[in-house]
Amino acid sequence: MSPIRLLVLGAVRQHGRAHGYQVRNDLEYWGAHEWSSAKPGSIYHALKQMTKQGLLIAHEVAPSTVGGPPRVEYELNDDGTAEYFRLLRDALSSHEQKSDELSAGLGFMVDLSRGEAVALLRERVSGLERWRSAVTVYYTPEAGPEQLGHIGELMNLWVHSADGGVRWTRGLIERIESGAYTFAGEGEPFVGVLADDEPNPFAADRQPEGIH
């Protein structure tokens, strides 16, 4: 899956209704432009595409002050909400997800119940362990991956990545089971979006201090 769909749907959902610049601002606030494909062009394209696909409702809310088209606010409908949760569950449970896809899922995991989040992460652990076992059984020479020359380092990379993924995921499960974070149905969630008029200190086009 591409993380952009989950990121955009999640950002719109957190606002209830949001225009394109709000979505872009939130994703840059989260740093998603650094670790995913969430660039301005892809964000606006995703909003328009998912509106055509029947996942978002587009509301024209105000005429442009510079003579352009009216501003559009987007809202998830029932199909969009179902797609959001499908993508979220897949991002957390699948061991095949890339780091940007998993990162997107982590950003919204508290929209699930605590128990479901743990169950999905346990699926990820099981998948990683099955994958590691299959790789080492079928692809590792009896004398070790070094028998493949420098190509054997690919095996070392795969195995260490799987082992690291398992350790990290188990640690996250332990933290969640110990009561970390506020999940759905437990109280006021953590607010990770900016108000419409709130400046974004992490905007992609913000110049570092001292540069003018």
The 10s digit of each residue's pLDDT in 128-165 is: 999 888 877 766 656 665 666 677 777 778 888 899 99
Confidence band, pLDDT 50/70/90 cuts, at residue 197? low
Closest CA relative to residue 169, chosen from 94, 66, 78: 94
What's residue 42's pLDDT?
Answer: 87
> What pLDDT is stored for residue 66 in this prediction?
59
Quick one: pLDDT at residue 209?
35
Report the pLDDT value the prediction gives residue 208, as an integer from 0 to 100: 37
Calculate the average pLDDT of the chain: 83
Nearest-angstrom CA–CA distance, 50 and 207: 32
The residue that leads in pLDDT, 182 or 156, is 182
Please give the Cα distance from 77 to 34 (Å, whole number): 29
Does the structure show a pLDDT above 50 at 211? Answer: no
Report yes or no: 94 and 84 within 8 Å, Cβ to Cβ. Answer: no
- How confident is residue 65, by pLDDT bands cut at 50, 70 and 90? low
Q: Across residues 66-77, what is the average pLDDT?
A: 82
User: Is pTM, for the whole model, over 0.85?
Assistant: no
pLDDT > 90: percent of the chain: 48
When mean pLDDT is compared across 13-17, 49-53, 58-62, 161-165, the lowest value belongs to: 58-62
Question: In this predicted structure, which of 81-85, 141-145, 163-167, 185-189 has the lowest mean pLDDT?
Answer: 141-145
Give the burial string for 84-123 (b: 16+ CB within 10 Å, else e): bbebbbbbbbbbebeebbbbbbebbbbbbebebbbebbeb
